[in-house]
Amino acid sequence: MEILENYINYLMEKKTKTNVISKTITDENIRKLINDTKSLNLLIKEKKIVDVGSGNGILGVTVAILNPNKSIFLVEPRRKKADYLKEMIEYLMIENVKVINTDIETYLKVEKGNFSMITRGFPDNEKLYKIFEKNKIKQFIAISSKEKFKKIIKNSKIKNLRSYDIKNRETIKIFCLECVSRETL
């Protein structure tokens, strides 16, 4: 896809001008992250998708590019990163994305449950699970390390968590929680 190539080029160009993306990241590493996202994308069921802690946008922007008929919301609490995301979306002319410069708790006071929540390497997946449960979000999908999720599961009441391998990635997995029906929560 040409737009994905433009996106990778944009990230590589901006890495030396901002600290939103690591200055040491390589084109190959970005492609691996995008491939991880393509795997996660196969699990998304809702037409509305919220990327929590969007950061440099590799997760949410890639999902937006792959799903032009879905609405993507990049929830990013840091102003500098939110501004970077807005600039990138405008540059790439992606129309199905909106950047929200706030934290997830504030966002959820306005927005309720009919969406898939996605995240990558969020610092507190246990906190996100509690948000998922409380707000009856339809689906929560995360890319994270196996070790981090083992620790979370060991110390929590998380049930019905499924994990998926990512091709050519041994240390990370995709984890998915879904609400089967809103009445069962």
CATH code for the domain of 93: 3.40.50.150
pLDDT at 7 over 70: yes
Inform me whether the pLDDT recorded for 174 exceeds 90.
Answer: no
* Cα(67)–Cα(139) distance, integer angstroms: 17
How far apart, in Å, do the first and last CA atoms of the chain sit?
A: 40
pLDDT digits (tens, 9 = 90+) for 67-91: 999 999 999 999 999 999 999 999 9
Band of the pLDDT at 94, cuts 50, 70, 90?
very high
Beta-bridge partner residues of 119? 142
Strand 48-52: give its sheet, edge to edge.
Answer: 97-100, 71-75, 48-52, 116-120, 139-145, 169-178, 162-166
Contact criterion met (CB below 8 Å) for 79 and 141: no
Q: So what's the pLDDT on residue 136?
A: 63
**Does 145 map to a domain?**
yes
Which domain range does residue 145 map to? 2-17+34-184
Number of domains in the chain: 1
Q: What percent of the chain has pLDDT over 70?
A: 82
Give a yes or no: residue 93 inside a domain.
yes
Residue 155 domain flag: yes
Structural domain includes residue 23: no
Structural domain contains residue 22: no
| Whole-prediction pTM | 0.87
Q: What is the pLDDT of residues 122-137, one digit of tens each?
A: 656 567 667 776 766 7
Over pLDDT 90: what percentage of the chain? 45
pLDDT class for 105, splitting at 50, 70, 90? confident
